[in-house]
Amino acid sequence: MTVASPSNLYSDLDVHAELDVSLAKHTWFGIGGSADLLIHPQSIEALATLARRCRRDGIPLRVLGSGANLLVDDEGVDGVVVKLDAPAFKAVEFNASGLLERMRVFGGAQMEQLVQECARRGLRGIEQMAGIPASLGGAIRMNAGGKFGAIGDAVDAVAVIGLDGEMRVYSREELHFGYRETNLPAGIVAWASLRVSADDPVACRTRVKEYFAYKKSTQPMSASSAGCMFRNPTLANGSRESAGKLIDLAGLKGTRVGCAYVSSEHGNFIAVDDKAAAAGTARTADVRALVELIQETVESKHGVRIETEVVFWRRGERP
């Protein structure tokens, strides 16, 4: 469904709306088509009303975070894309409810900045997110993390604006955080309460530097990619295997399809040729074709099907 600036959808709301906006500049891949309608809500109330109206009118609603885990189709996406980049959604309330061991972080806050600010303040609890690009909402939705832990380790409660426009708060006891998954219902993460504890600021900064250095030494962080493309699969014996290792053993490092290639540093990273991206000739279709080639080859050689961790947006598909 194409949205043609329906006045009854957002004109009376506190939002900033843009029509036919290229999403390439909003993703780490730097490729992909346009959003029919990109809306920047300025308040939680405006976001809730917008969600309610989209549901009423049967309009797809997608949330654009930092774009670090997203691949947009060359033909773009229909419906409404929401970006939580207004000050109301980037706020951080330290010592929430007067408690030192809590802070409230809103859905559009960037994890990189939050990690650094917590270290500066001597607050321990989220340093495991060092070097992981994401908005708070996106990180929670997929329980982002790595070798040193995941965001779910620190979550105390999450407030979600449902597709019906109603906000509900889910306590730690109601939440389940697994490997790159959570049981949160469909909707938009408005804010989360995170558990932290006081620590020596120097020790906090040292841990953050160590975690970031490890990530930098093991992953091609300067490449135009979305980080790890595939989830680590669970084998028949119940153990979890590294997708990057399976790709490497399949001899796929360096494999190229058009503008897309498998990193020679880390098999689970698909990157886009910077020159092609700069020239405007890079295509999402090349990345998708390479993904399918990798999946087929790994399954053929190892008998394991690896699934994507990166989110794909395509016109006509429901989010």
Question: Residue 66 sits in a domain of what CATH number?
Answer: 3.30.43.10
Virtual torsion, Cα 111, 113, 114, 119, nearest 10 deg: 130
Judge residue 87's burial from the number of C-beta atoms within 10 Å of its C-beta, 0-12 exposed, 13-18 middle, 19 or more buried.
exposed
* Structural domain contains residue 319: no
Nearest to 113 by CA among 100, 95, 132: 132
The helix/strand/coil state of 82 is strand
Q: Do residues 78 and 102 share a domain? A: no
Considering the domain boundaries, does residue 163 fall inside one? Answer: yes
78 shares a domain with 14: yes
- The pLDDT of residue 29: 92
**Number of domains into which the chain is organized:** 3
Residue 246: band (very low, low, confident or very high) from pLDDT cuts 50, 70, 90 = very high
Question: Does 126 lie in the same domain as 57?
Answer: no
CATH number of the domain residue 208 falls in? 3.30.465.10
Domain span at residue 104? 91-216
**Residue 22: strand pairing partners:** 34
Residues 271 and 156 occupy one common structural domain: no
Q: What's the whole-number mean pLDDT along residues 122-150?
A: 94
Q: What is the pLDDT of residues 13-59, one digit of tens each?
A: 999 999 999 999 999 999 999 999 999 999 999 999 999 999 999 99
From 17, 62, 16, select the one nearest 42 (Cα to Cα): 16
pLDDT at residue number 32: 95
Q: Tell me the per-residue pLDDT of 104-120, one tens digit each, with 9 for 90 and over.
A: 999 999 999 999 999 99
Rg of the chain on CA atoms, in Å: 20
Residue 1 pLDDT > 50, yes or no? no
Tens of pLDDT, residues 193-237: 999 999 999 999 999 999 999 888 887 765 677 889 999 999 888
- Could you tell me whether strands 77-83 and 34-41 are parallel, antiparallel, or unpaired per DSSP bridges? parallel
Q: For the segment 76-95, what is each residue's pLDDT rounded down to a tens digit?
A: 999 999 999 999 999 999 98
Q: Just list the catalytic residues.
A: 180, 228, 309
Identify whether residues 80 and 102 lie together within a single domain: no
Please report whether residue 14 resides in a domain: yes
pLDDT of residue 119: 95
- Please count the other Cβ atoms lying within 10 Å of the Cβ belonging to residue 161: 24
Same domain, 182 and 256: no
Predicted pLDDT of residue 99: 66
